[in-house]
Amino acid sequence: MIETIAASRCPRCGAVVAPPERFCPRHPVEMAPIALPGAGEIVSFTTLHSPPAGFRSPLHIALVELEGGARFVCHGAETRGLRIGSRVAIEAVDDVYYFSHLGAMDRARLFWRRAGRAGDRAQAIVRSLTKRVWKGTQRGSS
Protein backbone atom coordinates (compact mmCIF):
# COMPACT_ATOMS: atom_id res chain seq x y z
CA MET A 1 0.00 0.00 0.00
CA ILE A 2 1.64 3.25 -1.15
CA GLU A 3 0.75 6.50 0.57
CA THR A 4 0.14 9.67 -1.38
CA ILE A 5 2.27 12.62 -0.34
CA ALA A 6 1.11 16.19 -0.84
CA ALA A 7 3.63 18.29 -2.77
CA SER A 8 3.78 21.39 -4.95
CA ARG A 9 5.31 22.29 -8.29
CA CYS A 10 6.77 25.57 -9.55
CA PRO A 11 5.09 26.67 -12.80
CA ARG A 12 8.27 28.59 -13.71
CA CYS A 13 11.11 26.10 -13.13
CA GLY A 14 9.25 22.82 -12.58
CA ALA A 15 10.83 22.25 -9.16
CA VAL A 16 8.79 19.96 -6.93
CA VAL A 17 8.87 20.26 -3.14
CA ALA A 18 7.24 18.22 -0.39
CA PRO A 19 5.42 19.06 1.76
CA PRO A 20 3.81 21.76 -0.43
CA GLU A 21 5.02 25.36 -0.13
CA ARG A 22 3.08 28.46 -1.03
CA PHE A 23 5.93 29.97 -3.08
CA CYS A 24 8.74 28.33 -5.04
CA PRO A 25 11.94 28.58 -2.95
CA ARG A 26 13.78 29.89 -6.03
CA HIS A 27 11.08 31.96 -7.79
CA PRO A 28 8.59 34.45 -6.32
CA VAL A 29 5.62 32.64 -7.86
CA GLU A 30 2.78 30.57 -6.35
CA MET A 31 3.26 26.83 -6.59
CA ALA A 32 0.58 24.42 -7.85
CA PRO A 33 -0.46 21.55 -5.57
CA ILE A 34 0.34 18.02 -6.77
CA ALA A 35 0.46 14.54 -5.21
CA LEU A 36 3.44 12.18 -5.25
CA PRO A 37 3.60 8.46 -4.56
CA GLY A 38 5.19 7.72 -1.18
CA ALA A 39 8.16 5.79 -2.49
CA GLY A 40 11.73 6.69 -3.35
CA GLU A 41 15.45 6.34 -2.75
CA ILE A 42 17.53 7.15 0.32
CA VAL A 43 19.70 10.24 -0.35
CA SER A 44 21.21 10.32 3.15
CA PHE A 45 20.39 9.34 6.71
CA THR A 46 21.60 9.80 10.26
CA THR A 47 20.94 8.57 13.76
CA LEU A 48 20.76 11.30 16.36
CA HIS A 49 22.00 10.27 19.80
CA SER A 50 21.10 13.51 21.57
CA PRO A 51 17.82 14.50 19.92
CA PRO A 52 16.04 17.73 20.86
CA ALA A 53 13.34 17.87 23.51
CA GLY A 54 10.24 15.92 22.49
CA PHE A 55 12.11 13.08 20.75
CA ARG A 56 13.49 9.77 22.02
CA SER A 57 17.09 8.67 21.44
CA PRO A 58 18.17 7.17 19.08
CA LEU A 59 16.28 9.23 16.51
CA HIS A 60 16.60 8.05 12.89
CA ILE A 61 16.20 10.74 10.22
CA ALA A 62 16.38 10.13 6.47
CA LEU A 63 16.41 12.31 3.39
CA VAL A 64 14.49 10.48 0.65
CA GLU A 65 14.24 11.40 -3.03
CA LEU A 66 10.62 10.68 -3.94
CA GLU A 67 9.56 9.37 -7.31
CA GLY A 68 8.53 12.63 -8.93
CA GLY A 69 11.55 14.59 -7.80
CA ALA A 70 10.99 16.13 -4.40
CA ARG A 71 13.30 15.32 -1.51
CA PHE A 72 11.54 14.49 1.71
CA VAL A 73 12.61 14.33 5.35
CA CYS A 74 11.18 11.49 7.41
CA HIS A 75 11.77 9.19 10.35
CA GLY A 76 12.50 5.48 10.43
CA ALA A 77 12.37 2.60 12.90
CA GLU A 78 16.04 1.83 12.32
CA THR A 79 18.86 2.42 9.84
CA ARG A 80 20.50 -1.01 10.07
CA GLY A 81 21.18 -2.31 6.55
CA LEU A 82 20.23 1.06 5.05
CA ARG A 83 22.40 2.44 2.24
CA ILE A 84 22.39 5.57 0.11
CA GLY A 85 20.24 4.52 -2.85
CA SER A 86 18.14 2.01 -0.86
CA ARG A 87 14.52 1.86 -2.07
CA VAL A 88 12.02 2.71 0.63
CA ALA A 89 8.31 3.25 1.00
CA ILE A 90 7.01 6.22 2.94
CA GLU A 91 4.11 5.71 5.30
CA ALA A 92 2.22 8.28 7.30
CA VAL A 93 1.47 7.30 10.85
CA ASP A 94 -0.73 9.93 12.45
CA ASP A 95 0.60 12.67 10.14
CA VAL A 96 4.24 11.77 10.79
CA TYR A 97 6.11 10.19 7.88
CA TYR A 98 8.32 7.09 8.20
CA PHE A 99 10.41 5.28 5.61
CA SER A 100 10.41 1.50 4.96
CA HIS A 101 7.62 -1.04 5.08
CA LEU A 102 6.24 -1.10 8.55
CA GLY A 103 4.26 -3.82 10.30
CA ALA A 104 1.71 -3.06 13.00
CA MET A 105 4.27 -3.68 15.74
CA ASP A 106 6.75 -1.31 14.06
CA ARG A 107 4.04 1.33 13.96
CA ALA A 108 3.26 0.87 17.62
CA ARG A 109 6.96 1.08 18.53
CA LEU A 110 7.42 4.27 16.53
CA PHE A 111 4.78 6.00 18.60
CA TRP A 112 6.68 5.38 21.79
CA ARG A 113 9.77 6.98 20.25
CA ARG A 114 7.93 10.19 19.61
CA ALA A 115 7.22 11.75 22.96
CA GLY A 116 3.70 12.85 23.70
CA ARG A 117 0.96 12.34 26.24
CA ALA A 118 0.19 8.69 26.90
CA GLY A 119 -3.43 9.19 25.86
CA ASP A 120 -2.40 10.68 22.53
CA ARG A 121 -0.09 7.75 21.91
CA ALA A 122 -2.71 5.11 22.68
CA GLN A 123 -5.26 6.91 20.51
CA ALA A 124 -2.78 7.25 17.67
CA ILE A 125 -1.92 3.56 17.82
CA VAL A 126 -5.57 2.58 17.69
CA ARG A 127 -6.08 4.93 14.73
CA SER A 128 -3.06 3.50 12.97
CA LEU A 129 -4.13 -0.11 13.51
CA THR A 130 -7.66 0.69 12.38
CA LYS A 131 -6.27 2.32 9.27
CA ARG A 132 -4.14 -0.73 8.55
CA VAL A 133 -7.03 -3.14 8.97
CA TRP A 134 -9.14 -0.93 6.74
CA LYS A 135 -6.38 -0.81 4.11
CA GLY A 136 -6.13 -4.60 4.32
CA THR A 137 -9.85 -4.87 3.65
CA GLN A 138 -9.49 -2.54 0.67
CA ARG A 139 -6.65 -4.61 -0.72
CA GLY A 140 -8.63 -7.81 -0.23
CA SER A 141 -11.69 -6.49 -2.06
CA SER A 142 -9.85 -5.04 -5.07
DSSP state letters, 52-72: PTTBPSSEEEEEEEETTS-EE
| Long-range Cβ contact pairs of 29-32 (< 8 A, separation 24 or more) | 32/8
**Residue 61: CB minimum distance to another protein, A:** 6
Alpha helix segments (H runs only) across the chain: 104-113, 118-141
DSSP state of 55: B
Window 43 to 102, contacts with another protein (CB under 8 A): 43-55, 59, 61, 63, 70-75, 79, 84, 96
Nearer to another protein, 24 or 125 (CB): 24
Instruction: Confirm or reject binding of residue 124 to another protein (CB under 8 A).
Output: no
Instruction: Confirm or reject binding of residue 110 to another protein (CB under 8 A).
Output: no
Residues near another protein (CB under 8 A) are 15, 17-19, 25-26, 43-55, 59, 61, 63, 70-75, 79, 84, 96
